[in-house]
């Protein structure tokens, strides 16, 4: 039994605890805290000298106030294609184990600043994952590897090359008998070619590949069933019914970008007649994922019970389709080990069978091979629209490398990327195995646990600095193209492999070009310019399924359902949404990007279900939930107002989540970590997010979270059984960005069922208070959106209407020619909540585009996160009980950023006119006018304004409070990341979403530049893509000119599901939302007539439905509104 170390800053429950710590004692003894004492002696004298000098300067003619002399340094020889001030875009792709994401990188005078998806690759449609967005930060990470090192001493590139040549010669002599390679998997055909050559040069050597998050189980199952390694590419565009089996196929999985894109295409609903065509998603899952939150029916089930469950579904489907022969009976037998609602299984199977040819089953890659074999068989029986493509067989795994190392005959171990010391299964004891090798060489992009243990560290270049190639999930060839010469003396891994293979050509460009030609490409420059090679995808296969083969591939012990209990818990190891498998542990953007479900930043917590939390609370006597009674039980006011305020679902101290720390024991290892209660988890499943708690990592990742790899064995890579939890008295602050779980019956996210919508297409404006409030536009309510956008009608007010269609009063030139005046285009946005999967790629894309700083955990705890865009996540439950945490929930996402209100409440309170409207309807923010009163943030009903409390950009995390004497070090490297077209904000100013005004202005200027002496100045629809819209894999965000009735955004806003959040405030936001639809199956036992959120709204307002009196609203309010609706005035507009 060993204790993994509980890392992270500790928080003490009391001062006594604190006083016991050595740091505190030391602090008392020193009298002055560290730093203050440094002012003594020489330092103080120096300080006085400096200060005296600056006082002197201040007195001398105020020379310091004058603008300093600046130099302009032009090129000596102007390079081609570089126009200072005009960004250049290059294609490339972000390498990963199985799925290179094709990208286009924006560079400013040679410096990459922003990554966007490459729309030339149609399946991903220009989208990227959240990690791809954040990967640019790693290029400018001050803690990245800058030099190669041999036992602490720096090595020159030439010395490294000599070492590599020597290595080849030594091991070439005995055919590589003493040589072991352990590499991260890669999609690069160039690398595959070099690996083949290395294997030829060293036939006795071992080439093994290892990745912590293996997503190839389905391919191994296909190998067993079909006899060849096949990858399944479901055609979700054809799917009407989807059953997801513990599968997070919408985000963070290989190929998820196209899957999310295609799946949500079947959920786009143009009008109420279209609603019937919507697809239906069943999700059976152990953890709450974005797939589960998109599901129309969701069943909570532990991972270890999935096998028996799918066997039941399989038996039902095969029986209904009369195929499969003996397999059906065998599946029925296996399925018998699990007790689950038979009606759920049956109704689901019936629905799948009825839509055969259009139904797909997809299973999570952490599930055993047998589950995937059954899924293949059911999909076959359903004639599911799935393309199988032949993929290269996987290399042998890390176990082979360990076996050879443990023989003790290995002289050289070459580790190419990855971090096995940190993430290898503990039963392999990799550290000891690595130590067996006489010499170990680690090739990687930054120092980590493995590089520490290696004798030679070769610094590897970032992918934005290297030539290479790769394949997307479907096999399409994409380039890896450098944007910049390596910033440091780092190596391309292709060069290293080429040198080891003894190749004469060692530069990445030539290698990639040669591979391209071998793969049948003809025009390399066109390939680089397009970023994809059309028609280079893997060959599709049409395998014939033999059900008997499936039956023999199934191992019943992999499928048996286990009885779980509070003492026999199931642990799910899942990649962290922050660090993935640990590779992004030093990436500040990822650390601060809230987890889509838990909304935690800068930490990973053990996620447990509410049921388990209650059980542990009662058996172990330690409080997890707060004991407060709901306010309405104690207060007449709230009772009268039906103010069913929910209690917090976790203990909060001054807004900081104070999580109970537990000891979790699994696989003989005890892990100490805080817990976070998440609804929607299977009762006895707990989630351990991997990838955090790194020991050797840069400054950002230091002391963040706990290490879940410490308990992972090779037999329990995805999930482990037999865990137990002991609550402790300790607590730990978690930086949670959304304390509130529920909308409390408020109509923020409006939802309906597809059938409900078909029956009542105008439901969306009958849900909110708007159906009761006076019409926002008064007598002008019937005017079109286009007219309303240009002319700000004041309702029945006597004030003049503000109009953007007329020249400003101080402009004379249009007098008499008013009809010719070019009316500015009016920008607006529509967000389709039916498509949003909550993946948060928009949050990081916005951060990258708009120079949004990170603030660190301590500041997030104080509620000072700076994200311009956030994704609000709400839970709603069938039974609306504000005192209990529900287990079965429906999840709603809402992307929230500045709504650019026409009647912006923030503008009305700004004492210095720092935030005002422009003539395109944008709510602008002039930073240089802002004096930081924060009135605007106070008055914003959407809580989207962010204040620079401290100097986030100029100071390092942890040094914000050092005052004017603190070091102001803005590392040159980090500065290079900034978008030059967006101001880097200073301390004391307010900021918020600008609708990417820099992109609007750039498009305007470009259009006018091209127009020259003509009047062709209107920007065509679709020419401006804002950062969040560009990255969105599901096209949930539309942006454009709302004064043009034919623009995409106008069409979206014309949809009858379109509504404004808190519309009754008459702020008239330019960003509107399209209500979400769910598509339940009425035959299912858990069918619902209305989505829970909608039902909660009805319940809260106590009149079931607005149908009864909705029609008479226009005519005027009758008496009965008086008492029933009095509560609406108390409807606090808290969006958060």
- Residues lying near another protein in the complex (CB under 8 A) are found at 62, 65, 67, 69-78, 83-86, 807-808, 810-814, 817, 820-822, 824, 916-920, 922, 924-929, 981-983, 994, 997-998, 1000-1001, 1005, 1008-1015, 1017
Specify the DSSP element, H or E, that contains 231: strand 230-234
Closest to another protein by CB, 28 vs 1013, is 1013
Q: How far is the CB of 104 from another protein (least distance, A)?
A: 20
Residues 785-791: contacts with CB within 8 Å, 24+ apart?
Answer: 785/1042, 785/1045, 785/1050, 785/1053, 785/1054, 786/1042, 786/1043, 786/1044, 786/1045, 786/1050, 789/826, 789/828, 789/921, 789/1042, 789/1043, 789/1070, 790/823, 790/826, 790/1043
Backbone torsion region of residue 408, taken as left when φ is above 0, otherwise alpha when ψ lies between -120 and 50, otherwise beta: left
Q: How far is the CB of 1015 from another protein (least distance, A)?
A: 4
The whole-angstrom separation of Cα 126 and Cα 194 is 31
Question: Closest Cα to residue 566, out of 662, 665, 688, 684?
Answer: 684
The whole-angstrom separation of Cα 319 and Cα 328 is 7
Q: How far is the CB of 672 from another protein (least distance, A)?
A: 47
Closest to another protein by CB, 57 vs 159, is 57
Q: How far is the CB of 806 from another protein (least distance, A)?
A: 11
11 C-beta neighbours (distance < 10 Å), count = 15
Q: What is the DSSP string of 930-996?
A: -----HHHHH-TT---EE--S-TTTS-TT-GGGGGGS-----HHHHTTS-TTS----TT-EE---SS
Closest to another protein by CB, 431 vs 805, is 805
Closest to another protein by CB, 16 vs 69, is 69
Closest to another protein by CB, 513 vs 979, is 979
Specify the DSSP element, H or E, that contains 656: strand 656-666
Specify the DSSP class assigned to residue 901.
B
The whole-angstrom separation of Cα 443 and Cα 450 is 10
Pairing of the two strands 656-666 and 669-677? antiparallel
The whole-angstrom separation of Cα 429 and Cα 448 is 17
The whole-angstrom separation of Cα 1030 and Cα 1024 is 9
Q: How far is the CB of 1131 from another protein (least distance, A)?
A: 33
**Beta pairing partners, 299:** 284
Specify the DSSP class assigned to residue 779.
G
Q: How far is the CB of 118 from another protein (least distance, A)?
A: 25
Q: How far is the CB of 700 from another protein (least distance, A)?
A: 27
Q: How far is the CB of 990 from another protein (least distance, A)?
A: 14
Q: What is the rounded (10 degree) CA torsion for 817, 820, 821, 822?
A: -170
Closest to another protein by CB, 490 vs 825, is 825
Q: How far is the CB of 933 from another protein (least distance, A)?
A: 18
CA–CA–CA angle 968, 971, 976 (5° rounding): 130
Q: How far is the CB of 1024 from another protein (least distance, A)?
A: 13
Which residues touch 1062 (CB under 8 Å, ≥6 apart)? 748, 941, 942, 1133, 1135
Q: How far is the CB of 742 from another protein (least distance, A)?
A: 37
**Can you say whether the dihedral through the CA atoms of 1063, 1068, 1072, 1074 is positive or negative?**
positive
Alpha helices in 410-503 (DSSP H): 420-423, 430-436, 449-453, 493-501
The whole-angstrom separation of Cα 584 and Cα 134 is 9
Closest to another protein by CB, 40 vs 918, is 918
Closest to another protein by CB, 386 vs 846, is 846
SS3 906: helix
Q: Are the C-beta atoms of residues 1044 and 1053 closer than 8 Å to each other? A: no
Q: What are phi and psi of 26, to 5 degrees?
A: -60, -40
Q: How far is the CB of 482 from another protein (least distance, A)?
A: 21
Closest to another protein by CB, 690 vs 1027, is 1027
Closest to another protein by CB, 283 vs 983, is 983
Q: Are the C-beta atoms of residues 686 and 607 closer than 8 Å to each other? A: yes
For 55, 226, 246, 247, 546, the CA distances from 383, given in Å and listed in that order, are 82, 16, 21, 20, 14
Q: How far is the CB of 898 from another protein (least distance, A)?
A: 13
Closest to another protein by CB, 270 vs 929, is 929
Q: How far is the CB of 155 from another protein (least distance, A)?
A: 28
Q: Are the C-beta atoms of residues 466 and 483 closer than 8 Å to each other? A: no
Closest to another protein by CB, 312 vs 920, is 920
Closest to another protein by CB, 441 vs 922, is 922
Question: Closest Cα to residue 578, out of 599, 553, 556, 555?
Answer: 599
Closest to another protein by CB, 791 vs 919, is 919
Closest to another protein by CB, 33 vs 809, is 809
Q: What is the DSSP string of 853-895?
A: PP--HHHHHTT----S-EEEEEEEESS--TTS--SSEEEEEEE
For 232, 481, 507, 527, the CA distances from 466, given in Å and listed in that order, are 31, 6, 10, 16
The whole-angstrom separation of Cα 844 and Cα 580 is 15
Q: How far is the CB of 584 from another protein (least distance, A)?
A: 29
Q: How far is the CB of 202 from another protein (least distance, A)?
A: 44
Q: How far is the CB of 1069 from another protein (least distance, A)?
A: 18
């Amino acid at each position: 039994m060993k204790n993994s170390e509980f890392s992270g800053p500790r928080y003490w429950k009391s001062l006594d605890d604190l006083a016991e710590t050595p740091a505190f004692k030391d602090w008392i003894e020193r009298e002055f805290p560290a730093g203050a004492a440094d002012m003594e002696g020489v330092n103080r004298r120096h300080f006085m000298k400096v200060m005296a000098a600056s006082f002197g300067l201040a007195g001398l003619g105020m020379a310091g106030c004058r603008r300093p002399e600046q130099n302009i340094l032009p090129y000596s020889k102007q390079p081609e294609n570089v126009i200072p001030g005009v960004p250049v875009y290059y294609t490339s792709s972000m390498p990963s184990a199985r799925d290179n994401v094709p990208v286009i990188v924006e560079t400013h005078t040679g410096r990459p600043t922003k990554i966007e998806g490459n729309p030339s690759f149609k399946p991903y449609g220009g989208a990227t994952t959240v990690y791809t967005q954040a990967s640019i930060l790693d290029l400018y990470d001050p803690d990245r590897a800058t030099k190669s090192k041999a036992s602490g001493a720096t090595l020159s590139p030439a010395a490294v090359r000599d070492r590599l040549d020597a290595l080849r010669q030594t091991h070439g002599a005995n055919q590589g008998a003493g040589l072991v390679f352990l590499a991260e998997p890669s999609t690069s055909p160039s690398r595959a070619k070099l690996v083949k050559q290395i294997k030829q040069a060293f036939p006795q050597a071992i080439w093994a590949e290892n990745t912590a998050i293996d997503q190839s189980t389905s391919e191994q199952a296909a190998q067993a069933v079909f006899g060849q390694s096949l990858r399944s590419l479901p055609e979700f565009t054809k799917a009407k019914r989807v059953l997801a089996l513990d599968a997070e196929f919408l985000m963070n999985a290989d190929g998820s970008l196209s899957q999310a894109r295609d799946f949500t295409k079947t959920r786009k609903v143009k009008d109420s007649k279209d609603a019937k065509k919507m697809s239906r998603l069943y999700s059976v899952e152990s953890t709450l994922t974005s797939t589960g939150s998109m599901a129309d029916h969701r069943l909570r089930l532990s991972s270890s019970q999935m096998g028996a469950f799918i066997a039941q579904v399989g038996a039902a489907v095969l029986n209904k389709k009369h195929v499969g022969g003996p397999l059906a009976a065998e599946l029925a037998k296996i399925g018998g080990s699990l007790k689950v609602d038979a009606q759920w299984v049956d109704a689901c199977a019936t629905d799948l069978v009825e839509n055969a040819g259009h139904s797909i089953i997809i299973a999570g890659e952490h599930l055993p091979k047998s589950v995937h074999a059954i899924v293949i068989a059911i999909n076959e029986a359903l004639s599911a629209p799935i393309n199988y493509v032949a993929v290269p067989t996987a290399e042998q795994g890390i176990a082979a490398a360990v076996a050879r190392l443990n023989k003790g005959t290995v002289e050289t171990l070459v580790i190419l990327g990855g971090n096995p010391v940190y993430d290898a299964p503990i039963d392999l004891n990799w550290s000891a195995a690595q130590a067996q090798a006489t010499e170990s060489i680690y090739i990687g992009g930054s120092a980590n646990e493995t590089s520490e243990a290696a004798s030679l560290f070769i610094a590897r270049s970032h992918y934005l600095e290297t030539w290479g190639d790769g394949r997307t999930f479907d096999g399409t060839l994409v380039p890896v193209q450098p944007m910049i010469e390596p910033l440091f003396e780092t190596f391309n891994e292709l060069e290293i492999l080429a040198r080891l293979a003894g190749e004469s050509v060692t530069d990445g460009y030539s290698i990639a070009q040669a591979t391209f030609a071998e793969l049948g490409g003809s025009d390399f420059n066109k390939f680089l310019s397009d970023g994809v090679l059309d028609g280079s995808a893997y060959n599709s296969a049409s395998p014939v399924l033999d059900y008997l083969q499936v039956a023999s591939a199934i191992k019943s012990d992999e499928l048996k359902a286990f009885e779980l209990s509070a003492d026999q818990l199931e642990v799910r190891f899942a990649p962290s949404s922050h660090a993935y498998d640990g590779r992004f542990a030093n990436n500040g953007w990822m650390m601060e990007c809230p987890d889509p479900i838990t909304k935690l930043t800068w930490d990973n917590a053990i996620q447990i279900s509410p049921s388990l939390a209650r059980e542990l609370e009662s058996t172990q006597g330690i409080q997890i939930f707060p004991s407060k009674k709901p306010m309405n039980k104690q207060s007449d006011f709230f009772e009268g107002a039906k103010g069913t305020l929910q209690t917090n679902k976790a203990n909060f101290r001054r807004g900081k989540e104070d999580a109970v720390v537990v000891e979790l024991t699994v696989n003989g290892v005890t892990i100490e970590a805080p817990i976070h209660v998440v609804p929607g988890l299977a009762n006895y499943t707990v989630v351990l997010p991997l990838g955090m708690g790194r020991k050797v990592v840069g400054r950002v990742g230091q002391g963040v979270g706990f290490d879940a790899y410490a308990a992972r064995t090779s037999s329990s890579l995805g999930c482990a059984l037999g865990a137990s939890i002991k609550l402790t008295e300790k607590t730990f602050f978690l930086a949670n960005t959304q304390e509130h779980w529920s909308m409390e019956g408020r109509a923020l996210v409006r939802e309906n069922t597809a059938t409900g919508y078909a029956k009542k297409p105008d439901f969306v404006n009958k849900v909110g208070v708007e159906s009761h409030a006076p019409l926002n536009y008064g007598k002008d309510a019937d005017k079109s959106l286009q007219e309303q956008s240009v002319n700000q009608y004041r309702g029945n007010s006597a004030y003049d209407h503000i109009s953007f269609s007329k020249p400003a009063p101080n402009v004379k030139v249009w007098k008499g020619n008013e009809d010719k005046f070019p009316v500015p285009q009016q920008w607006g946005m529509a967000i389709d909540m039916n498509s949003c999967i909550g993946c948060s790629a928009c949050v990081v894309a916005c951060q990258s585009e708009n120079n949004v700083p990170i603030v660190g955990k301590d500041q997030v705890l104080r509620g000072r996160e700076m994200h311009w865009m956030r994704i609000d996540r709400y839970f709603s439950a069938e039974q609306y009980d504000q005192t209990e945490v529900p287990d079965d929930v429906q999840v709603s996402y809402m992307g929230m950023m500045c709504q650019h209100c026409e009647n912006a409440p923030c503008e009305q309170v700004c004492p210095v006119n720092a935030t005002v409207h422009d003539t395109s309807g944008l709510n602008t923010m002039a930073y240089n006018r802002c004096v930081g009163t924060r009135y605007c943030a106070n008055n914003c009903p959407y809580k989207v304004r962010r204040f620079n409390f401290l100097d986030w950009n100029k100071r390092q995390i942890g040094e914000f409070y050092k005052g004017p004497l603190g070091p102001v070090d803005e590392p040159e490297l980090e500065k290079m990341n900034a978008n030059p077209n967006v101001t880097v904000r200073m301390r004391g100013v307010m900021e918020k979403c600008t609708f990417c005004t820099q992109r609007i202005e750039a498009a305007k200027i470009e259009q006018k530049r091209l127009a020259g002496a003509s009047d062709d100045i209107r920007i065509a629809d679709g020419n401006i893509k804002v950062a969040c819209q560009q990255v969105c894999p599901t096209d949930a965000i539309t942006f454009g000119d709302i004064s043009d009735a034919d623009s995409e955004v106008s069409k979206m806003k014309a949809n009858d599901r379109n509504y404004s959040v808190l519309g009754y405030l008459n702020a008239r936001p330019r960003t509107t939302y399209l209500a979400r639809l769910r598509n339940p199956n009425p035959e299912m036992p858990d069918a619902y007539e209305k989505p829970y959120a909608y039902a909660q709204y009805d319940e809260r307002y106590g009149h079931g439905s607005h149908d009864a009196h909705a029609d008479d609203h226009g005519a005027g309010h009758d008496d009965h509104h008086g008492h029933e609706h009095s509560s609406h005035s108390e409807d606090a507009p808290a969006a958060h």
